[in-house]
């Protein structure tokens, strides 16, 4: 009886921010997987262990959550003023598709470190000790991201005392700058930070009602709604939403109609094939709560509460790209995020999320009647967990 042997592919398993993913160098992929298409998607699905009707990804590298079902492909940049080209694939857990429609802000924190360690940054730009500035080109959203990576004795420093809520152990701080974070998008709404032209819209959602919504393209397309309007407090933890099919269906309906209103899809039926974007998040004024680890979060220590869903489930902390959207929207007076934080002008915001709190900064200016944000800044950390090879059946792609 014949059998198909496994093949091995160089790969690195990395934590970035509050996510984990399998990182590849483009040149290490099998030749037909070095170009976008069905073969690449099939390979990544098999690496992660999807589609899995059990929802566990036991036969792959995925961790059965949106935060751990991720892949990254990196290559020396084709752009003269950048170091590395970064592609992110969000792998569905129970369906056979990889969503390439957006970025992962959390794993972005590990891109600079990987680029340095894998020879994608010129040696003369890496100090013996200090900070190495890595210029990242995010291919999907066509944006520049700057990573400030700590270096010790000529190598990436991963350990340190920076604590990030949602991550158990401290590590070295990596500051990330998202330049011109307004996402151009790929639908009719692309090219504008507020694709509807409004800071707040009345979003009609059949079966739910008319909701106030701020729909923004920044970091990642995001639909913000008020927690109180849908019967939430804004202090919910994962279990309160993720164990309720009714809540999950309600949020998916809101997300689908938000995507349609933003011009990201042409019919609500298309939302099912575009799970990664847009995100849907609900906001509320600051309030005391206990985080998922039992850590008390005091209203006096935060500006607002935000909860966001990723790939159909409430996120255990906050997606990095959604944090960019939060910081950007908070900097613009009149958005729902800004109003939940108390309104007025601000250049930074600290928000509560299920695992704790996070600070993100952004500065907004009004130019020719349009709001413009030049950069959003936040801190993350990253650490290599394992490196070597992943193995997959040779006929999987």
Could you give the residue numbers annotated as active site? 104, 319
SS3 labels along 82-142: CCEEEEEEEECCCCCCEECCCCCHHHHHHHHHHHHHCCCCCHHHCCCCEEEEEEEEECCCC
Could you give the count of Cα atoms lying within 13 Å of 136 in the half-sphere of its Cβ?
33
Closest CA to 279 of 310, 304, 250, 257: 310
Dihedral sign, Cα of residue 125, residue 131, residue 133, residue 138 = positive
Are 118 and 146 in contact by the 8 Å Cβ rule? The answer is no
Q: How many CA atoms lie within 13 A of 3 on its CB side?
A: 4
C-alpha–C-alpha distance, residues 188 and 172, integer Å: 40
How big is the CA angle at 325 (ends 322 and 327), to the nearest 5 degrees? 110
Task: Say how far apart CA 356 and CA 303 lie, in whole Å.
Answer: 13
3-state class of 259 per DSSP?
helix
Which structure tokens are listed for 151? Answer: 């270096």
| Token pair of 231 as six digits | 């019967």
Q: Are 219 and 178 in contact (CB under 8 A)?
A: yes
Residue ranges of the alpha helices (H) in 26-104?
38-48
**Distance between CA atoms of 279 and 223, rounded to whole angstroms?**
6
Contacts of 223 (CB under 8 A, 6+ apart): 203, 213, 214, 215, 254, 255, 258, 259, 262, 278, 279, 280, 281
């Amino acid at each position: 009886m014949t059998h198909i042997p496994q093949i091995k592919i160089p790969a690195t398993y990395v934590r970035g921010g509050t996510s984990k993913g399998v990182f590849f160098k483009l040149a290490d992929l099998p030749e037909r997987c070095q170009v976008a298409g069905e073969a690449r998607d099939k390979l990544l699905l098999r690496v992660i262990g999807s589609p899995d009707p059990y929802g566990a990804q036991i036969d792959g590298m995925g961790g059965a959550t949106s935060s751990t079902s991720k892949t990254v492909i990196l290559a020396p940049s084709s752009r003269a003023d950048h170091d590395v080209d970064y592609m992110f694939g969000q792998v569905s857990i129970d369906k056979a598709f990889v969503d390439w429609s957006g970025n992962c802000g959390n794993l972005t924190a590990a891109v600079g470190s990987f680029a340095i360690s894998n020879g994608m940054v010129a040696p003369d730009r890496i100090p013996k000790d200090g900070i190495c500035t890595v210029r990242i080109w995010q291919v999907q959203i066509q944006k520049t991201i700057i990573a400030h990576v700590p270096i010790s004795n000529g190598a990436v420093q991963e350990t340190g005392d920076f604590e990030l809520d949602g991550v158990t152990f401290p590590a070295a701080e990596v500051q990330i700058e998202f330049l011109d974070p307004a996402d151009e998008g790929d639908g009719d709404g692309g090219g504008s930070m507020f694709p509807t032209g409004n800071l707040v819209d009345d979003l009609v959602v059949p079966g739910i009602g008319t909701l106030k919504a701020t729909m923004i393209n920044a970091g990642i397309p995001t639909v913000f709604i008020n927690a109180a309007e849908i019967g939430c407090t804004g202090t919910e933890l994962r279990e309160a939403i993720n164990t309720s099919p009714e809540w999950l269906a309600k949020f998916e309906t809101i997300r689908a109609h938000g995507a349609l209103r933003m011009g990201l899809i042409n019919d609500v039926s298309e939302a099912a094939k575009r799970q990664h974007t847009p995100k849907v998040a609900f906001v509320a004024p600051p309030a005391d709560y206990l985080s998922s680890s039992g850590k008390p979060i005091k209203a006096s220590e935060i500006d607002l509460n935000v909860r966001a869903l990723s790939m159909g489930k409430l996120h255990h902390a906050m997606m990095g790209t959604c944090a960019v959207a939060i910081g950007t929207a908070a900097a613009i007076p009149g958005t729902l995020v800004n109003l939940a934080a108390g309104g007025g002008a601000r250049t930074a915001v600290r928000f509560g999320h299920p695992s704790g709190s996070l600070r993100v900064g952004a500065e907004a200016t009004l130019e020719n009647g349009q709001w413009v944000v030049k950069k959003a800044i936040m801190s993350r950390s990253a650490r290599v967990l394992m490196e070597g090879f992943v193995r997959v059946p040779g006929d999987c792609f």
